[in-house]
Amino acid sequence: MPILCRPAVMVPEHTITMGETLDLARQLHADHPKLDLVLQLIENTGVHKRHLVRPLDQTLRHPGVEVRNLVYEEEARRRVPEVTLAALAAAGDLGAQDIDAIIFVSCTGFLMPSMTAWMINNLGFRNDTRQIPIAQLGCAAGGAAINRAADFCNAYPGTNVLIVACEFCSLLYQPSDSDVGSLLSNGLFGDAVAAAVVRGRGGYGVRLERNGSYLVPDTEHWISYAVKATGFHFRLDKRVPTTMAMLAPALRTLADSHGWDAAALDFYIIHAGGPRILDDLSDILGVDTESFRYSRATLTDYGNIASAVVFDALRRMFEENTLEHGAAGVIAGFGPGITAESCVGTWAVPTGQPSPQPSQSPRIATAESGMS
């Protein structure tokens, strides 16, 4: 079965704290009739800081769609190579020539040809490497990428897939949007680039055993983009925080189909769109809140980094390194649709070998490690 190897994650060097976010909201929206509610909602996210691909003063200006998309392209080309190399190193003895498909996911910029073409031309990948860009699944795309990579490896035994999630949410900031959902989003989302390899043979990490997709009927407008002359305007319905009541049964069904109890797994890697998602899932499944510590730590340190959330939560699980061989768990991404992309699998360590200790593992690209 395919193995999801240790992810590499990089967050940009520019930061904004919770305090700075609240001060900005007070300055920019002093006359907003619901300012107190907005401030409370932002505080309730529990996001201590976020990372931005541009300095704050540049982030707050809107130079136009063309300029913003050029920034997206420039920053992606600058940052993706380092994360890609780190992910290949973390996957063991693999190089670019060993990758058979690249899945590139992003909902914060648009390029055609996809970044996959640029990567093949510039990073040493074979010319026959399959290209699988995913652009419209939002935060669910992290889970979808893992599932499609597993499907590819199962369809073509022995192949390897590189996943790259590139999310520069700050490039979608719209100064003119002042609805409560937009202002909350301004204090929630952050920027990050993540990468991971799914190996068809060898490696250590999460053995991907079964996956599923579920769309909640008649919720397609709850999370969406309004495409205007000024670019993508993020739309967030006030009912979104309640979606776990509709998505948790899908996780339970997936686990049941594999003969597992969703309430009794050893690890949970869940997209943390906000704290209520994790709180409600804990209540509905009957799981201790500590089980979501990896996802909550990502939310606290980086905010909602869209499709990259599941990879950063996975990175934290690898670094904690406390799982026994065969430990069972779930990985789930949630996003527009409302869509859930989930998989179940087990922690796999090579026969006769202990899990590599954090100090033995390849360096992971993060702002804290000094990589930018």
What distance in Å separates the CA atoms of residue 223 and residue 240, rounded to the nearest whole number?
8
User: 23: exposed, middle or buried (C-beta count within 10 Å: 0-12, 13-18, 19+)?
Assistant: exposed
Dist CA 169 CA 71 (whole Å): 12
Residue count of the chain = 372
- What is the Cα–Cα distance from 324 to 133, expressed in whole angstroms? 34
Q: Which residues contact 108 (CB under 8 A, 6 or more apart)?
A: 72, 166, 167, 168, 169, 171, 172, 232, 306
Select which of 139, 166, 169, 343 is catalytic.
139
CA–chain centroid gap for 339, Å, is: 14
At 168, phi and psi to the nearest 5? -110, 75
Helix (H, G, I), strand (E, B) or coil at 339: strand
Nearest one of 268, 91, 93, 92 to 163, comparing CA atoms? 91
Contacts for 130 with CB less than 8 Å, ≥ 6 apart: 100, 101, 102, 152
3-state helix, strand, coil in the chain (%, to 5): 40, 25, 35
Measured between alpha carbons, how far is residue 174 from residues 66, 136, 193, 207, 343 in Å?
14, 19, 22, 41, 34
Instruction: Report residue 141 as tokens.
Output: 């795309």
Q: Is 343 among the catalytic positions?
A: no
**Active-site residue set:** 139
